[in-house]
Amino acid sequence: MKRISTGIPEFDTELEGGYPEGKGILISGDTGSGKTILGLHLIYRACMDNKNCLYIATEETPEDIIMQAESLGMDLRHFYNEGKLVIQRIYEERVHEAIASVKFGNDRPLSSDIVKLKDIIVGINDIVIIDNIGVFTLTMALDVFRAQFDALTCVLSQKGYTTVFIMDETSNRRTEYVAAYSVYGVIKLSRKENPYTNKHERYLEVTKMRNTQIPEEPIRYKIAPEKGIVFLSD
Amino acid sequence: MKRISTGIPEFDTELEGGYPEGKGILISGDTGSGKTILGLHLIYRACMDNKNCLYIATEETPEDIIMQAESLGMDLRHFYNEGKLVIQRIYEERVHEAIASVKFGNDRPLSSDIVKLKDIIVGINDIVIIDNIGVFTLTMALDVFRAQFDALTCVLSQKGYTTVFIMDETSNRRTEYVAAYSVYGVIKLSRKENPYTNKHERYLEVTKMRNTQIPEEPIRYKIAPEKGIVFLSD
Amino acid sequence: MKRISTGIPEFDTELEGGYPEGKGILISGDTGSGKTILGLHLIYRACMDNKNCLYIATEETPEDIIMQAESLGMDLRHFYNEGKLVIQRIYEERVHEAIASVKFGNDRPLSSDIVKLKDIIVGINDIVIIDNIGVFTLTMALDVFRAQFDALTCVLSQKGYTTVFIMDETSNRRTEYVAAYSVYGVIKLSRKENPYTNKHERYLEVTKMRNTQIPEEPIRYKIAPEKGIVFLSD
Amino acid sequence: MKRISTGIPEFDTELEGGYPEGKGILISGDTGSGKTILGLHLIYRACMDNKNCLYIATEETPEDIIMQAESLGMDLRHFYNEGKLVIQRIYEERVHEAIASVKFGNDRPLSSDIVKLKDIIVGINDIVIIDNIGVFTLTMALDVFRAQFDALTCVLSQKGYTTVFIMDETSNRRTEYVAAYSVYGVIKLSRKENPYTNKHERYLEVTKMRNTQIPEEPIRYKIAPEKGIVFLSD
Amino acid sequence: MKRISTGIPEFDTELEGGYPEGKGILISGDTGSGKTILGLHLIYRACMDNKNCLYIATEETPEDIIMQAESLGMDLRHFYNEGKLVIQRIYEERVHEAIASVKFGNDRPLSSDIVKLKDIIVGINDIVIIDNIGVFTLTMALDVFRAQFDALTCVLSQKGYTTVFIMDETSNRRTEYVAAYSVYGVIKLSRKENPYTNKHERYLEVTKMRNTQIPEEPIRYKIAPEKGIVFLSD
Amino acid sequence: MKRISTGIPEFDTELEGGYPEGKGILISGDTGSGKTILGLHLIYRACMDNKNCLYIATEETPEDIIMQAESLGMDLRHFYNEGKLVIQRIYEERVHEAIASVKFGNDRPLSSDIVKLKDIIVGINDIVIIDNIGVFTLTMALDVFRAQFDALTCVLSQKGYTTVFIMDETSNRRTEYVAAYSVYGVIKLSRKENPYTNKHERYLEVTKMRNTQIPEEPIRYKIAPEKGIVFLSD
């Protein structure tokens, strides 16, 4: 099984070289846990490795994404300008839909068919990142979500894409964590108080990664300016 | 990235100079946690810095707001009188709507389209504060709230406004904390008992602030007469 | 800001002289926590200070209220007889409504428009006490309750009344504690077991009081015969 | 205020002589907590004091009740035979209703208007005991229950009856403990494990009793054969 | 009051000789707690005492039941063959109903009128065991279940049957434990980790048994091959 | 009772030789707990013992399954190629259904009649494994699920198949763990933090196995590359 580097050398070591190529993985976590930052590491490294990357952004503008990457020491603008990185402007589309729906008295502004994402995700891509898949789940019945998410995962995998699904913890909990059953791997980010030191610590946990001997313990990390995620040894 | 002073010098230090200009931030907390007091610091400082401020007040009269600021040592009346600070009287409008709705047998008194706030928020403003966005969410389905709040955040940001959303914790919990995903930064105020001393302590926690190295630990503070929020060193 | 004595000297000290005149405050607590007893202190002291008092009683007869006050050493009968204290017999009205509704097959006996209370609360009053506002909330949707309670609070305040809302904890929890956001101050009564002594202790906590430096810690008290609420020093 | 002996001398001492005459009190507790046994003490003592007693039994036959009293050393049969104690056979009526409703395809067998109980509770009674009021609450909306229970309590009190409502904890929890707000006193029975000895202990707690200085601490008791409830000193 | 031996001598001792004749008792517990095994003890002993026994089996075939009894050292086959023990094949009936309902597009396969069980339970029986009453409760509204279960309990008792209701904990929790209020006795089986030894232990607790001085503490037991339930002394 | 080897010698020892032939057992656990890996052990051993195996795969392609087995040191491809192991491609069918349902505006893509699985499970099979039965339960009412799952279990048992149901913990919890009542045995996999060492440990617990003296304590295990599940001695 081919693997793709995460851009974080210690993480690659933990994953037998990286995350599986051609499969879907899920990154979940609460507000401020660093989901998007981890996603930026994956994307930046993929760009550096000359891969074609597609970023589906539901909550930020392309400029926001690029600025955030820059503050972490990753020059994404370069790849964006030369077309290695394509950023789909789903965020602004959602805003226009919401405003229009109020104007025309339509209560349900956001079309939420996940399967339709397959029609957006076209072209020659190596890595596709969807940040955040959670916004498509708000009105979806659980069985519809599971069926559609399974379908999307399968279709993207058949096209040979490697897909990174970022999902906020609120949506993950509301859909009863079923997304985890459909993907090849799951990475959970959290931040909690250490009961001994009373300090808040950040943890990355790999709860699932098929065909991979996964680390049994959560990995402590910090987010450093100009560097992003840095693993800490205990 | 330009930053705006919070009016609390130690807080500015923690935020690399202040909160980001032109973006939206969310302040949440329980009854009596000091949400409005923090908002008054932001507004007062902005007025002092000669910025145009708009205060959307859903639960207090302008007089209540100005009196509360005075008791904390901030002379807002001065700026209010000369028009640097505009206070929208949403509170009294809501009361009239409620009374009318009972008179005419209408069960749902409060129009709750958040997007419509964009039509209220007009003119040349530097800072807009909405205290409390929670009252607009009571009948809103979660997906509608998320879409509308995303839209409002985006539109206000495009106009160049810096927006401070104050949201009561009850509404925040009911909307499953999704507001946090749409804004640039989140500040959470709380009050809890210290298990060692059995004293109640107040904490300010920055759970998210894009492009900013945020303080990892909650900051303890008190509310002092004639001063407002004062950070305490541990 | 003018303040009104609570009738409990130590409590007045904690509140910079008393509770704010012309505003609404909320007293909440569980069964047997002493909500009505605290209300009787406020009313009795107001009568002693020659104020006009209106008592809206939803769960007790006037005789019950006067007898309970007497057992706590407060001679309310005197003020009741001379008209300084008016007790609205909402309790018996509710009973008649309930019986009639069963007779005529009407399932919803209790008209629950809170705003209509403003038509009951008439005349020249200084203090209005509503014990217990919770009975009006049982069928009310949360948004309707919030809008109506805001409206009632605002209207009574505009008339210059000082209003004391007593609310049982069950109703407060069911309405997700939103009443607290509309009033000027909140007093919470509770009774809990001390984990060290295994004794049950009573606590009064001021969780909110605008324009007032509130006590940060809950105050322990007992209910003494012929005296009512007596604060205890730790 | 006149008081009625509970039949348990130590309990009378705790209640300044007994429970208030002419008012309603509520006894609640889980399965096997001894609710009916406490009710039998009250009834037996009332019979001994030559009072007219009415027992509304929803879950047991008269024979079951009398046998259980006998095993606790209380000869109720004697009073039952001479008519001092009347036992209403609501239990068998409910069974017939349920069977009929199945036969005729009616899904809702049990008429659950609590107010109608006032038409059953007739004649010259001193003490009325309803064991268990909970069976009337299963389909009732919370507001209807509160209004009807308030009405029943008020009507019975106006007739001069002293009423003892026994309510299973399941129904009490389902109706969000609102019954407690309508009655004059509340007695809660429970059984819990002592964390130090790991032994199960029974506790009686008076959480409310108007016009009465109530014991602040729960009282430990046992159920002894031929004796019933016996208070234990700590 | 006549009592029936449980077949476990130490248990009989705890129950003043056994469980009450002519009444209903409830056995509840989680998966694997030993509910059916306790039921087999009761049935086997009743057969040995020459009683007529009826076993209503909703989840196992007669062969499964007899084999399980044999592995616990109880030769039920002998009594089954000679007709002392009748096993109603409700299990297979339920399967056929379910398959038919799918074939004919009927969504609700299982007729769930508990009262109708009284038409199945006919003939001359001493002991009736229904294992598991829970399967009849899945679609039943709580009030219907309570009324019907009360009715069934009452009717079987009037016929002179002694009834053992086995109910899985899931159904018991879903019906809010109301079954316990209708029966004469309740036996709860559970399995939990001892916090000191970290070993899993099995407990039998009698939470209710009218006219019986019940053991206050849970009784620890094990399930031994060829023996079944064996009480352990602490 | 005949038993089938699990393929894990120490596990066979704990189960008196293996799991019961001709019955249904349930394996449940959270994401990444190793449910599929345990299933692969059972299947691989059955193939080795020359049994005919049918694998109903709802979330993986045959290639995924075979590759995962290979990484654990089990050469399933060999048996797959020669037809001893048949893998039903339910996964791809589900994806096509989901896509079609979106195209044609049908909201409920997945036909969820569990009983219909009996029409898929045909031919001469010794072992049938359904991984994961949970996907069929998403829209099913609890009573329908219980009736259908009982029916499927019974029908497969009558055909002489030994069935292994794998169910994700989310679905198991949503269906209130009722599947456990229908099967002959239940194996629960979990992963939790040891409170003393703060290390995460994996546990296998047999919560039910009829006719079998089951291990009272959970068994700690690890997942080793090229080996799969390896029991650890404490």
pLDDT tens for A50-59 read: 999 999 998 8
Average pLDDT over every residue of E130-146: 84
Which of chain B's residues have a Cβ under 8 Å away from the Cβ of A102?
Answer: 113, 115-116, 148
Q: How close, in Å, is residue F214 to chain E by CA atoms?
A: 10
Residue of C nearest to B92 (CA): C154
Q: Does C107 contact B at CB distance below 8 Å? A: no
Question: What is the phi/psi pair of residue C55, to 5°?
Answer: -115, 115
Q: According to the model, what pLDDT value does residue E112 have? A: 58
The pLDDT-based confidence of F206 (bands split at 50, 70, 90) is very high
Contact criterion met (CB < 8 Å) for F147 and E97 = yes
Average pLDDT over every residue of B61-67: 91
Contact criterion met (CB < 8 Å) for F113 and E102 = yes
Contact partners for chain C, using 3 or more CB pairs closer than 8 A, are B, D
What is the rounded CA–CA span in Å between residue B11 and residue B230?
Answer: 10
Residue D198 clears pLDDT 90, i.e. is over it: no
Average pLDDT over every residue of B157-176: 92
Average pLDDT over every residue of C45-49: 96
Q: According to the model, what pLDDT value does residue A109 have? A: 47
Q: Does B111 contact C at CB distance below 8 Å? A: no
The mean pLDDT value of chain F amounts to 88
Instruction: Check residues E34 and A103 and name the one with the higher pLDDT.
Output: E34
Q: Does D195 contact E at CB distance below 8 Å? A: no
Q: Does A151 contact F at CB distance below 8 Å? A: yes
Is the distance from CB of A11 to CB of A214 less than 8 angstroms? no
Contact criterion met (CB < 8 Å) for F94 and A147 = yes
Residue D27 clears pLDDT 80, i.e. is over it: yes
Give the tens place of pLDDT for each residue, F43-59.
999 999 999 999 999 88
Closest CB from E142, E147, E177 relative to D31: E177
Contact criterion met (CB < 8 Å) for E92 and F154 = yes
Q: According to the model, what pLDDT value does residue A50 have? A: 95
E88: closest CA among E149, E129, E48? E129
Closest CB from D151, D181, D211 relative to C98: D151
The pLDDT-based confidence of A103 (bands split at 50, 70, 90) is low
* pTM as predicted: 0.86
Residue C110 clears pLDDT 80, i.e. is over it: no
The pLDDT-based confidence of B197 (bands split at 50, 70, 90) is confident
**Can you give A159-222 as a three-state secondary structure string?**
CCCEEEEEEEHHHHHHCCCCHHHHCCEEEEEEEEECCCCCCEEEEEEEEEECCCCCCCCCEEEE
Which of chain C's residues have a Cβ under 8 Å away from the Cβ of D176?
Answer: 170, 174
Helix A62-71 to helix A35-48 angle (10° resolution) is: 80
The pLDDT-based confidence of F11 (bands split at 50, 70, 90) is very high
Q: Does C37 contact D at CB distance below 8 Å? A: no
Which of chain A's residues have a Cβ under 8 Å away from the Cβ of B118?
Answer: 99
Q: Does D182 contact C at CB distance below 8 Å? A: yes
Which residues are within 8 A (CB) of B110 and not within 5 positions of it... i.e. 6 or more apart?
B94, B97, B98, B135, B136, B138, B139, C143, C146, C147
Average pLDDT over every residue of A217-227: 92
Is the distance from CB of C66 to CB of C103 less than 8 angstroms? no
Q: Which secondary-structure segment (H or E) carries E27?
A: strand E24-29
Average pLDDT over every residue of D130-146: 85
Which of chain B's residues have a Cβ under 8 Å away from the Cβ of C147?
Answer: 94, 97-98, 101, 109-110
Q: According to the model, what pLDDT value does residue D109 have? A: 47
What is the rounded CA–CA span in Å between residue A41 and residue A61?
Answer: 18
Q: Does C105 contact D at CB distance below 8 Å? A: no
Q: Does A141 contact F at CB distance below 8 Å? A: yes
Which of chain C's residues have a Cβ under 8 Å away from the Cβ of D1?
Answer: 67
Q: Does C2 contact D at CB distance below 8 Å? A: no
F19-20 vs F24-29, strand pairing mode? unpaired
Q: Does F142 contact A at CB distance below 8 Å? A: no
What is the share, in percent, of chain C residues with pLDDT greater than 70? Answer: 94
What is the rounded CA–CA span in Å between residue A85 and residue A92?
Answer: 18
Mutation site, D99, D198, D232, interface E, largest E CB count within 10 A = D99
Give the tens place of pLDDT for each residue, D141-152.
888 888 889 889
Residue of C nearest to B108 (CA): C144
Give the tens place of pLDDT for each residue, D83-107.
999 998 787 777 777 777 666 555 5
Q: Which secondary-structure segment (H or E) carries B94?
A: helix B90-103
Is the distance from CB of C84 to CB of C158 less than 8 angstroms? no
D130 DSSP β-pair partners: D56, D165
Alpha helices in chain E, H assignment, sequence order: 9-14, 35-48, 62-71, 76-81, 90-103, 117-120, 142-158, 169-174, 179-182
Residue of B nearest to C185 (CA): B32
Alpha helices in C111-226, H assignment, sequence order: 117-120, 142-158, 169-174, 179-182
Residue F111 clears pLDDT 70, i.e. is over it: no
Average pLDDT over every residue of A131-149: 84
Cα D136–D139–D145 angle (5° rounding)? 60
What is the rounded CA–CA span in Å between residue C166 and residue C159?
Answer: 20
Closest CB from D142, D182, D211 relative to C138: D142
Average pLDDT over every residue of A57-68: 90
Closest CB from A92, A107, A199 relative to B144: A107
Closest CB from F151, F177, F181 relative to E95: F151
Q: Which residue in the block uniquely carries the two structure tokens 């409620």?
A: B98
The pLDDT-based confidence of D68 (bands split at 50, 70, 90) is very high
Contact criterion met (CB < 8 Å) for A94 and B177 = no
Q: Does C213 contact B at CB distance below 8 Å? A: yes
E38: closest CA among E139, E171, E187, E161? E187
What is the share, in percent, of chain D residues with pLDDT greater than 70? Answer: 94
Instruction: Check residues B102 and D66 and name the one with the higher pLDDT.
Output: D66
Contact criterion met (CB < 8 Å) for D216 and C199 = yes
Contact criterion met (CB < 8 Å) for C31 and D182 = no
Which of chain F's residues have a Cβ under 8 Å away from the Cβ of A182?
Answer: 59
Residue C25 clears pLDDT 90, i.e. is over it: yes
Q: Does D108 contact C at CB distance below 8 Å? A: no
Contact criterion met (CB < 8 Å) for E59 and F113 = no
Q: Does A98 contact B at CB distance below 8 Å? A: yes
The mean pLDDT value of chain B amounts to 88
Burial of D197 per CB tally in 10 Å (0-12, 13-18, 19+): exposed
Mutation site, E3, E115, E152, E155, interface D, largest D CB count within 10 A = E115
Average pLDDT over every residue of E111-130: 80
Which of chain C's residues have a Cβ under 8 Å away from the Cβ of D208?
Answer: 31-32
Contact criterion met (CB < 8 Å) for F200 and A214 = no
* F228, amino acid identity: G
Please count the residue pairs, one from chain C and one from chain D, whose beta carbons lie less than 8 angstroms apart.
81
Instruction: Check residues D111 and B62 and name the one with the higher pLDDT.
Output: B62
Q: According to the model, what pLDDT value does residue A234 have? A: 65
Give the tens place of pLDDT for each residue, E65-82.
999 999 999 999 999 999
Give the tens place of pLDDT for each residue, C70-103.
999 999 999 999 999 999 888 777 777 777 766 6
What is the rounded CA–CA span in Å between residue D135 and residue D56?
Answer: 12
Give the tens place of pLDDT for each residue, C172-214.
998 989 999 889 999 999 998 887 887 889 999 999 999 888 8
